[in-house]
């Protein structure tokens, strides 16, 4: 964090007589929240410390904008997992996308059975929709989505109820089960709200 802010500060100061835009991306803010929860303070305290140092540089007309690409919530429910030995018979490919919103690639002649089984197993944990219904209701936005995107979305899409987390992977499930404390793959207000902070110095 300190090194990143030092580079950004040096870039601003070396171009002090010109209007500049310095972009600083900090990927570990996201991972910190995933593994320690939304309100983990370590990374935020570090960032605040570096912002204070930057403000003390007395750079004229400096404007600092802090933004993210999504919000995040704490996981409050027990991890949701899938019994792949049970569900594999329905799939032609394993579920995709993310740990909260998932796509299902279901064989045409097994759609009804899959849906019935899924609703029975996950009725209190996840919502599931026909992919065409998702698209029709503009869940991905009002613009027409590409055929390429459609071809990758599978036949069904699910998302977790607020505070739940779906570990839909096979090979590295042990790296996620019981270890994730923050998530942003659902449709709650907190997850969809993009934070924005503007600081004029």
CATH number at 80-180: 3.30.1360
pLDDT class for 176, splitting at 50, 70, 90?
A: confident
User: Which pLDDT belongs to residue 67?
Assistant: 92
Q: Which two tokens stand for residue 22?
A: 């310095």
Q: What is the dihedral of CA 186, 191, 193, 198, to 10 degrees?
A: -150
pLDDT class of 49 with cuts at 50, 70, 90: very high
Sorted by sequence, the CB contacts under 8 Å of residue 150 that are 6+ apart come out as: 131, 135
Does the pLDDT value for residue 99 go beyond 80?
A: no
Question: Structure pTM?
Answer: 0.77
Distance between CA atoms of residues 132 and 127, nearest Å: 15
Average pLDDT, the chain: 88
Q: How far is CA 90 from CA 14, 104, 116, 164, in A?
A: 60, 9, 12, 24
The CA-to-CA distance between both ends of the chain, in Å, stands at 21
- Nearest 5°: CA angle at 187, between 89 and 132? 50
Is the pLDDT assigned to residue 201 strictly greater than 90? no
Strands 126-130 and 182-183: unpaired
Report the share of the chain in percent with pLDDT over 90.
37
* Confidence class for position 169, pLDDT limits 50, 70, 90: confident
Instruction: With a cut of 80, say whether residue 148 has pLDDT above it.
Output: yes
What is the per-residue pLDDT for 92?
96
Domain with CATH 3.30.1360 in the chain: 80-180
Rounded Cα gap, residues 10 and 12, in angstroms: 5
Decide if pLDDT at 86 tops 90: yes
Confidence check: pLDDT of 122 > 90: yes
Residue-level pLDDT at 37: 87
pLDDT band at 8 (very low <50, low <70, confident <90, very high): very high
Q: Is the pLDDT score of 65 beyond 90? A: yes
Note the pLDDT of residue 87: 94
């Amino acid at each position: 964090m300190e090194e990143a802010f030092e580079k950004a500060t040096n870039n601003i100061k070396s171009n002090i007589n010109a209007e500049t835009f310095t972009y600083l991306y900090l990927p570990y803010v996201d991972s910190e929240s995933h593994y320690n929860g939304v309100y983990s303070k370590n990374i935020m305290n570090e960032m605040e410390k570096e912002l204070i140092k930057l403000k003390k540089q007395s750079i004229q007309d400096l404007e600092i904008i802090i933004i993210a690409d999504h919000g995040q919530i704490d996981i409050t429910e027990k991890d949701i997992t899938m019994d792949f030995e049970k569900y594999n018979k329905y799939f032609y490919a394993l579920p995709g996308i993310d740990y909260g919103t998932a796509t299902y690639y279901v064989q045409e002649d097994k759609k009804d059975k899959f849906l019935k089984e899924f609703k029975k197993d996950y009725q209190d944990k996840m919502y599931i929709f026909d992919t065409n219904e998702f698209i029709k209701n503009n869940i991905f936005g009002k613009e027409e989505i590409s055929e390429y995107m459609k071809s990758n979305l599978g036949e069904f899409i699910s998302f977790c109820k607020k505070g739940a987390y779906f570990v839909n992977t096979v090979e590295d499930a042990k790296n996620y089960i019981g270890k994730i404390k923050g998530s942003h793959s659902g449709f709650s207000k907190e997850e969809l709200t993009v934070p924005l902070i503007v600081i004029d110095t």
